[in-house]
Structure 1
């Protein structure tokens, strides 16, 4: 049986190294992808590369969300909401990448949702 998962190349283990994320750059990319017209003329490989960027970044943001949520009491509403977003991230980031606008937009929305939750956990959004 062949695996359909894409491995993220991270030899320095930066995803878990608490390296500050380039949030502004990814928020700009999210906004650009979500503002695309219905049929931007991109090649399949371009969609795959964009989705791959979002996937790797979403996993890094999810790790931050998970870390902040773990510090909250188990009965906390903020922790429960974070766990819902993290579960959704796991579900949406697991399927194999597709070279489609839909896949790229789905991953962009996941990055946006994770940053929104991270902002609420760190009081940035209040």
Structure 2
């Protein structure tokens, strides 16, 4: 898949809908991928793991955007979220590679997005 882009068929916009994320299995995958020392998987396996993490990162980023938009415009947490989202967009735009490094970078991104999501969720809940 190197150099290729995979297009998700989502005619009803469900990826960006406010559906609850299936967080536990993805967090378990992130933990496992980040724990790799010298994995010996086939390039296609790395690509599949990175693809799974990429799709989930996009879903978490959509939730981060929604929570950031719910904060007052002068709230610095929303501004920080926008910076993180721009970085995430840049990282997600890079082509997938069949390497452990690529899968681990996507795992780090999912972890960072969840950290931001949790902080924004707390802020929005406290503001209500």
Task: Name the TM-score, length of structure 1 as normaliser.
Answer: 0.89
Over the residues paired in the alignment, what is the CA RMSD in angstroms?
1.6
Distance (Å, rounded) in 1 between the aligned partners of 2:53 and 2:7 = 13
Count of aligned positions: 121
User: What is the rounded CA distance, in whole Å, between the counterparts of 2:120 and 2:32 in structure 1?
Assistant: 25
Distance 1:75 1:23 in 2: 30
State the secondary structure of the residue aligned to 1:16: coil
Shift of 1:87: 0.7
1:8-35: per-residue Cα shift (whole Å, max 9, x none)? Answer: 2435532122211111111111000000
The 5 A counterparts of 1:82-101 are 82-101=81-100
- After superposition, residues 10-25 of structure 1 pair within 5 angstroms as 10-25=10-25
Q: Distance in 1 between matches of 2:98 and 2:41?
A: 10
Q: Which residue of 2 aligns with 1:52?
A: 51
* Residues 9 and 47 of structure 1: CA distance in aligned 2, closer, same or farther (over 3 Å): farther
Q: Extract unaligned runs of 5+ from structure 1.
A: none
